[in-house]
Amino acid sequence: MSNSYFKFKQFTIEQGDCAMKVGTDGCLLGGWFDCSQSSRILDIGTGSGLIAIMAAQRSNATVTGIEIDASAARQARENADNSPWGNRIEIINGDLLKYNPEETFDTIVSNPPYFVNSLKCDDSSRTLARHSDSLGSDAFFEKADKLLSKNGKISIIIPCDIENEWRSSANSYRFAPIRIAYIKTTPRKEAKRVLIEFCKGDCIKCNESILILENKPGVYSDEAREILRDFYLKIV
């Protein structure tokens, strides 16, 4: 498959102008987060528009994707327009910290930048997409607190080694985890990524689980198939 595009069952993601390409992290988050009661969804750092389009496929909500990189935002708009749900997807090229919409959102979803300590590459767009210099965990939750409705939810995917940092920032702004899934690529490997869903205020119970991606190489687990079956061509 060409690196310039990724074909899903009902839409295609063109990504030649996007620093961060379609990956398993975004696909899992897009299929995992709860949008069952959503009417307004915000995808922070939408990149190619992948999660925004997945959100529109999975719900009847209006979806807004915000992306700071102009080339990626332009491609996200084209991808949304070429999908069956383009009339419900808005793509904004701008800085989240300067974004002040008239209405709040009941769902926020994000595959945020997180390579804080890695060496920065020469490609400024890829650096912007990968590094948290411009949007760290504290800034993320401070802004989310303003953008989210009272009973809204936030879902993110991050590396396990920064989970404590992000949960601490969430707690500072009174966001509590209600659902957590630690992702293992195979049963014997350690979890490297974690999906977390937060709500505002004090949540009585947090449902923790382990999500195995593949039972063995090339064989998706039942849980992964359930999340990805409506999107991946190779899962029927």
Angle at CA 43, nearest 5°, toward 106 and 87?
Answer: 85
pLDDT of residue 152: 96
pLDDT of residue 148: 98
C-alpha distances in Å from residue 194, one per residue of 11, 56, 66, 92: 26, 23, 23, 27
Concatenate the DSSP letters of all residues of 89-137 into one string: EEEEES-GGG---SS-EEEEEE-----SSSPPPS-HHHHHHH-SSSS-H
If 0-12 CB within 10 Å is exposed, 13-18 middle and 19+ buried, where does residue 142 land? middle
Assigned token pair, 171: 């707690």
By C-alpha distance, which of 101, 99, 131 is closest to 116? 131
pLDDT of residue 146: 97
> How far apart are the C-alpha atoms of 180 and 176, rounded to whole Å?
11
The domain made up of 5-228 is a member of CATH 3.40.50.150: yes
146 CB contacts (<8 Å, ≥6 apart)? none
> How far apart are the C-alpha atoms of 11 and 135, rounded to whole Å?
29
**β-bridge pairing 148-159 and 193-200:** antiparallel
Tell me, what DSSP letter sits at residue 69? S
> How far apart are the C-alpha atoms of 65 and 92, rounded to whole Å?
6
Domain residue limits, the chain: 5-228
pLDDT of residue 114: 58
Tens digits of pLDDT across the chain (236 residues) = 457 899 999 999 999 989 888 999 999 999 999 999 999 999 999 999 999 999 999 999 999 999 999 999 999 999 999 999 999 999 999 999 999 999 999 999 999 875 443 334 444 444 444 434 557 999 999 999 999 999 999 999 999 999 999 999 999 999 999 999 999 999 999 999 999 999 998 777 899 999 999 998 889 999 999 999 999 998 97
